[in-house]
Amino acid sequence: MADHTLVFIVLGLTLAAFVWGRFRFDLVAFSALLATVMLGLVPGEEAFLGFGHPAVITVAAVLVLSRGFERSGVVDMIAEQVLKVGDRLLLQLVALTGTVVVLSGFMNNVGALALLLPVAMRLAREHDTSPSLLLMPLAFGSLLGGLMTLIGTPPNIIIASYRGSVTDEPFGMFSFFPVGAVVVLVGLAFIVLLGWRLVPKRAGKASTEEMFDTANYLVELKVDEDAKAVGWTLRELQRELEEAVPVLAVVRDERRWAGHAFLGTLKAGDILLVEAGPEEMKLLEDKAGLRVGLGPEEQEAQENEAQPEENNAETCGTNAEPTRQGSGAEGRTSKENGKSRSEKKSADTEGLELVEAVVRNDSMMINRTVTQLRLQNQYGLHLIAVARDGGRLKQRLRDIRFRAGDVLLLQGGESNLSESLATLGCLPLARRNLPLGQPRMLLVSIGVFAVAILAMLMDLLPAAVALSAAALVSLLVGVLPLREAYQAVDGPIIVLLAAMIPVGQALETSGGAALVAESLVLAGEQWPVLVLLIGLFLVSMLLSNVINNAAAALLMAPIAASLAEGFGTSVDPFLMVVAVSASCAFLTPIGHQSNTLVMGPGGYRFGDYWKMGLPLSLLVLAVAMPMILFVWPL
């Protein structure tokens, strides 16, 4: 069997696996790499050269620099300005989408979206706006912004590097700007003036309480002497209940432990601060013998001892009426029972925070359950609820296998909450007092990045070297801790790129790319080159909507170069067409991480994206094609 036939079979199976989505894209790509090596399509000694490829190193360096921007106070500075726009939806769209467009040109577009997603959610809540009207424009804006520079999106880095292998001169930092800037301006105008009107309005999803339909209470449960739970650990309590009922704190003799930090056994007189609804409270009473509140004699004794106190939003009463939990952003307020009474001593929730977070595409939580993750014991987090497709899941929490885009309602200690979320691969959406980064060394991080860009523009250093040096300096001067730098490097993307680069080269060396190009040239020899460029654009765009856009660029670049050779024209316009079209993943939520991240918080369904994405894609095609031919003539 001919080599190019084997390559087509491997690529066909790889694309089918990408579309199926049963296995992660990095595993699929790595399997494709090993398959090509075993079939003799890629020499064994060259199998892993992709991990040292300049495109891969550049992507890793950009990810580290982007995380440095997050920690250096960029999010606080942006939020302060964006939140001043008021309650006019048009101004909110201009501020959010315009800002993410600019940021995406100079940092990873997923990182830019991550900075502004909590800001958009806060705007929606403060001004009673459906977040669905803000989040899809925000995601699409992050994709558009990446078109303007070399480092804005992985397809640009890949195409620039591929041009270097073909012509010995890669595209520069701002080679993409003339075409990208015009496309961005037209696309931004479309999104702000018309596009958002095509987005389905998902009402009532802006607050935690509405999204999760919470009917739970913060309630104090007393462990009596005759309670079954005496002598149990909290793990044994959960096992007996056969349900994850979050124990937020244990109080014993005026001393308080966070639930995840209490490792002892329960004793008579202990008070458990529990997140539970009516059904869970009945379960706790029947199976563990725990009772709500205090008995009449204890209440009378406590009332005689208690001093009048002001109501505090962070405390809950130990009376028989449980304390209602409000939204995560607003804290907790005491529920009035209609009777005049003194405020009683209570177990407070100091140090505990409630947070909404969205599961990222690269999260370690995907396809795993809360039990497999040991969420409470290992990370100190209580899972309270899960929302998917804009609504709360009703199945038992322990049975839920997490998906990318799920919105989780979590509670944990404020000291380690940010680190736990980062380790798990979750992006916090909205929560009071949860800094997304420590505002420090803003000027240093910007200055280091500016020096790297200058070195690239003056051809002093290649892009991979200049950006890697900037990332190293950022670590040395303390802009970013080393641990967070390793966390910032998106492992699945790195593996995908490193694995698919040799596979793409196999497509070229086996003659497969030339065969495809020759067939296209013969089929379209009666048509002008422009028609084939439009066809190339459409194929790359459709491919980017079902597989990762970086993989689409890697597969289409050799075909584009072979097409240019077949027509005897410059390779530049063909490669530019692939660069632009591979970033037009506007039709589905799976084509790009930005689309997936906003799916849960926006309450979108799979079919919502094309309603604004299709006209935007056609508009990009109509604007980009003449600009490419003007700037990069045949």
Using one digit for the tens of pLDDT, what is the confidence trace for 488-522? 887 888 888 888 888 888 888 888 888 887 787 77
Residue 35's pLDDT band (cuts 50, 70, 90): very high
Distances (CA, A) of 280 to 37, 156, 234, 429, 555: 55, 53, 15, 27, 53
Residues in Cβ contact with 609 at an 8 Å cutoff, skipping those fewer than 6 apart: 136, 586, 587, 588, 589, 595
Asked if 355 contacts 369 with a C-beta cutoff of 8 angstroms, the reply is no
Q: Which helix (H) or strand (E) holds 410?
A: strand 407-413
Given a cut of 50, is residue 436 above it in pLDDT? no
DSSP string of 529-561?
HHHHHHHHHHHHHHHHTTS-HHHHHHHHHHHHH
Share the mean pLDDT of the chain: 79
For residue 579, which phi and psi values (nearest 5 degrees)? Answer: -60, -45
Confidence of residue 627 (pLDDT cuts 50, 70, 90): very high
Alpha carbon distance 94, 480 (integer Å): 31
List the single range of 156-165, 275-284, 441-450 with lowest mean pLDDT.
Answer: 275-284
Range 170-193 average pLDDT: 93
pLDDT band at 322 (very low <50, low <70, confident <90, very high): very low
587 or 546: which carries more pLDDT confidence? 587
Under DSSP, the state recorded for 631 is H
Give the integer Cα–Cα distance in Å for 429 and 122: 9
Mean pLDDT over residues 475-496, rounded? 84
Residue-level pLDDT at 262: 80
10 Å CB burial of residue 58 (0-12, 13-18, 19+) is buried
Task: Give the residue with greater pLDDT, 330 vs 141.
Answer: 141
Contacts of 286 (CB under 8 A, 6+ apart): none
pLDDT given at position 334: 35
Mean pLDDT of 10-31: 84
pLDDT of residue 330: 34
Averaged over 257-277, what is the pLDDT? 79
Residue 139 corresponds to which amino acid? A
> Over 50: is that where the pLDDT of 457 sits?
yes
Calculate mean pLDDT across residues 543-564: 86
Better-predicted residue by pLDDT, 18 or 366: 366
Segment of 199-213, 294-308, 555-569 carrying the highest mean pLDDT? 555-569
Q: In terms of residues, how long is the chain?
A: 634
Residue 177 pLDDT: 94
User: Tens of pLDDT along 347-401?
Assistant: 444 556 778 888 887 788 988 888 888 887 788 887 877 888 767 776 767 788 9
Query: What pLDDT is recorded for position 458?
Result: 86
pLDDT at 135 over 50: yes
How many Cβ atoms from other residues are within 10 Å of residue 478's Cβ?
11
Could you tell me the two tokens for 59? 């992507």
Rounded CA-CA distance 608/377 in Å is 38
Do the beta carbons of residue 147 and residue 541 sit within 8 Å? no
- Give the pLDDT score at 211: 54
pLDDT bin (cut points 50, 70, 90) of residue 247 is confident
pLDDT above 60 (res 434) = no
234 pLDDT higher than 70:
yes
For the chain, give percent helix, strand, coil, nearest 5.
55, 10, 35
Determine whether 503 is exposed, middle or buried from the number of CB atoms within 10 Å of its CB (0-12, 13-18, 19+).
buried
Mean pLDDT (whole number) for 302-307: 44
Using the predicted structure, report yes or no on whether residue 473 has a pLDDT greater than 80.
yes
Q: Which two tokens stand for residue 98?
A: 């315009």
Asked if pLDDT for residue 311 goes beyond 70, the answer is no
pLDDT of residue 305: 45
For the chain, percent of residues with pLDDT exceeding 90: 19
Helices 529-544 and 512-523: crossing angle, nearest 10°?
A: 130
Is the pLDDT at 288 greater than 50, yes or no? yes
By CB atoms closer than 10 A (0-12, 13-18, 19+), residue 388 is: middle
The tokens describing 513, both together, are 């790319």
Instruction: Name which of 58, 33, 6 is nearest 467 in CA terms.
Output: 58
Model confidence band, residue 318 (pLDDT cutoffs 50, 70, 90) = very low
CA–CA separation, 582 vs 69, rounded Å?
A: 26
Quick check: 538 pLDDT over 90? yes
Over range 560-570, report the average pLDDT.
87
Q: Would you state the pLDDT for residue 524? A: 66
Domain annotation for the chain: domains and CATH numbers:
3-206+443-631 (no CATH), 211-324 (3.30.70.1450), 352-430 (3.30.70.1450)
Query: What does the block give as tokens for 253?
Result: 């003799």
pLDDT category at 620 given cuts 50, 70, 90 is very high
Distance, CA of 387 to CA of 406 (rounded, Å): 6
| Tens-digit pLDDT profile for residues 184-193 | 999 999 999 9
The predicted model scores a pTM of 0.70
pLDDT value at residue 142: 92
Mean pLDDT of 259-274: 82
What mean pLDDT comes out for the span 596-614? 85
Q: Inform me whether the pLDDT recorded for 215 exceeds 90.
A: no
- Answer whether residue 324 shows pLDDT above 70: no
The answer, yes or no, to whether residue 206 has pLDDT greater than 90, is no
For the cut 70, the answer to whether the pLDDT of residue 327 exceeds it is: no
315: pLDDT strictly greater than 70? no
* Greatest alpha-carbon span in the chain: 97
